[in-house]
Amino acid sequence: MKACAFEYERPRNVESALRLLSTENSKILAGGQSLGPMLNLRVVQPALLVDLRGIEELKSVKDEKDSVTLGACVTHAQIEDGRLPDPTRGFMREVAANIAYRAVRNRGTIGGSLAHADPAADWPSALSVLGATVLIAGPGGRHEIPIEKFLTGLFETALKTGDILVAIRVPKLSARARVGYWKFCRKAGEFAQAIGAALDDPERGVARAVIGATRGAPHILADAKALFAKPEKQALLHAVDGAGLAADAYNRQLHAVALRRAIEKLAA
Residues engaged in binding ligand FAD (CB under 6 A): 27-35, 52, 72, 76, 99-100, 104, 108-109, 111-113, 115-116, 121-123, 159, 164-165, 189-191
- Nearest distance, CB of residue 184 and ligand FAD, angstroms: 12
- Nearest distance, CB of residue 253 and ligand FAD, angstroms: 21
- CA nearest to 207, candidates 194, 189, 220, 219: 220
Count of CB atoms within 10 A of residue 1's CB? Answer: 7
Instruction: Name 89's Cβ contacts closer than 8 Å, sequence gap at least 6.
Output: 173, 177
- Nearest distance, CB of residue 21 and ligand FAD, angstroms: 9
Beta bridge partners of 197: 181, 210
Nearer to ligand FAD, 67 or 106 (CB): 106
Rounded CA-CA distance 107/238 in Å is 38
Contact 115, 28 (CB under 8 A): yes
Rounded CA-CA distance 132/48 in Å is 31
Nearer to ligand FAD, 36 or 244 (CB): 36
Cβ-closest position to ligand FAD? 112
Nearer to ligand FAD, 109 or 128 (CB): 109
Nearer to ligand FAD, 184 or 191 (CB): 191
- Nearest distance, CB of residue 85 and ligand FAD, angstroms: 20
Task: Transcribe 52-116 into DSSP letters.
Answer: GGG-GGGG-EEE-SSEEEEETT-BHHHHHTT-S--TTTTHHHHHHHTSS-HHHHHH-BHHHHHHH
Nearer to ligand FAD, 116 or 252 (CB): 116
- Nearest distance, CB of residue 191 and ligand FAD, angstroms: 5
